[in-house]
Amino acid sequence: MTEYKIALVGFGGVNRGLAQLIAERNQSWRKELGLSLKIVGVTDLFLGSIMARDGLDAAELAKLPSSKGAFAQLPGGSAEAFNETIIKQSGADIIAEATFTNPVDGEPATTFCRWALEGGKHVVTTNKGPIALHADELKALAKRNGVCFEYEGSVMSGTPVIRMARETLPGAVITGFEGILNGTSNYVLTRMEEGLSFADAVRKAQELGYAEADPTADVEGHDVRLKVVILANELLDAKLTVNDVNCSGITSLSPADIERAQQSGERWKLIGSATRNAAGAVSASVEARLLDNSHPLAGISGATNAVSFNTELLGAVTVSGPGAGRIETAFALLSDIVAIHKSVSKK
């Protein structure tokens, strides 16, 4: 049994979900997974920070009020977010990075990952910015420092997609994919079909912890564009940047458009896709498409996501499951930690 010391950077829905899982399940993980986690530091721009090399009470952390500077209420806590100190000096073996996704330059999350990897710490992250924009650099940095850099939750939350395809589809030859890759926009479309207004549906998605800090990224397709770049670069060996992907969202769809589609046995879905042509070039797009109800992606509703990989040997291989959610995404971090544990145990 191995105990890993972990520091949490960003303590919003996802890392708070991880603290809750640790509080509830650490004992069973010892037996089931051969590992346990001790939280030695937490830092958050809004809540402040706290560090304890002997470990913090995960249940107490998970219950912390979401008020400005709340960590100052705990013994040894501060209202200031000492990100660099927590990452470099908490004694953590693993840094769980779950701050806001910045789709423009991936910062400051990319710097947080660099600090951790340079310091010989494994990184698990659900943040799409560093992966879509700086994956090659960060992977090389991890390799040079003999540590792991894992990011399963950056696409489709806790539903296994990246690792599943990487580990089980080699040889099947993936030639492209199409998918519903944003929980918020799919939830909004589903609720609009039920008669809710666009604004109320977005508000509900925010309450449920699906939406980005700025939900424009969800409904304008920018979040899907990052995920398309991540999947295409990981699985199609593309070298796409966000500017290579034409992108539009669901904001131009009116309640009348949604109703008209329903009356003709169709549904609007926000689809992210990429295809490799015979010459090896990869083209990708994000757009709202009208799908016939018989289309395999038409029945995917709410915050559920699905992606169909087109393969030479198997035809379409489709994975579907939660695309967003606090606990669902915290599970992605756990799956990354399990992958690290397997890799470390092999050495």
Ligand X SMILES: NC(=O)c1ccc[n+]([C@@H]2O[C@H](COP(=O)([O-])OP(=O)(O)OC[C@H]3O[C@@H](n4cnc5c(N)ncnc54)[C@H](O)[C@@H]3O)[C@@H](O)[C@H]2O)c1
Ligand Y SMILES: N[C@@H](CCO)C(=O)O
- Note whether 157 binds ligand Y by CB under 6 A: yes
227 annotated active-site: yes
**Which member of 48, 103, 108, 215 binds ligand X (CB under 6 A)?**
108
| Closer CB to ligand Y, 5 or 326, in the complex | 326
Q: How far is the CB of 183 from ligand X (least distance, A)?
A: 6
Which region among 10-18, 187-195, 237-245, 271-279 touches ligand X (by CB under 6 A)? 10-18
| 100 lies in the binding site for ligand X (CB under 6 A) | yes
Contact 182, 157 (CB under 8 A): no
Catalytic hit among 227, 269, 346, 347: 227
Residue 83 binds ligand X, judged by CB under 6 A: yes
Asked if 223 touches ligand Y (CB under 6 A), the answer is: yes
* 247, 324, 332, 333: which one binds ligand Y (CB under 6 A): 324
Q: Does 20 interact with ligand Y (rule: CB under 6 A)?
A: no
Q: Where are the beta strands (DSSP E) in the chain?
A: 2-9, 35-44, 48-51, 94-97, 122-125, 149-150, 174-180, 245-247, 266-276, 282-292, 304-311, 315-322
End-to-end CA distance of the chain: 15
Residue 12 binding ligand X, by CB under 6 A: yes
Which residue do the tokens 């145990």 mark? 345
Separation CA 299–CA 297 (nearest Å): 6
**Which residue pairs from 309-312 have beta carbons closer than 8 angstroms and sit at least 24 positions apart in sequence?**
309/165, 309/169, 309/174, 309/176, 309/177, 309/235, 310/174, 310/175, 310/176, 310/177, 310/178, 310/275, 311/169, 311/172, 311/173, 311/174, 311/175, 312/172, 312/173, 312/175
Residues 6+ apart with CB under 8 A from 121: 87, 92, 93, 94, 95, 147
Task: Choose between 10 and 41: whose C-beta lies nearer to ligand X.
Answer: 10
Choose the binding region for ligand Y from 48-56, 103-111, 204-212, 286-294 (rule: CB under 6 A): 204-212
In the complex, minimum distance from the CB of residue 153 to ligand Y, in angstroms, rounded to a whole number = 8
Among 41-49, 116-124, 137-145, 279-287, the segment contacting ligand X (CB under 6 A): 41-49
Q: What amino acid occupies position 35?
A: L
Q: Which residue is nearest to ligand X (CB)?
A: 12
* Contacts with ligand Y, residue ranges (CB under 6 A): 157, 182-184, 210-212, 218, 223, 323-324
Active-site residue set? 227
* Contacts with ligand X, residue ranges (CB under 6 A): 9-14, 43-46, 81, 83, 98-101, 108, 126-128, 153, 157, 209-210, 212-213, 324-326, 329
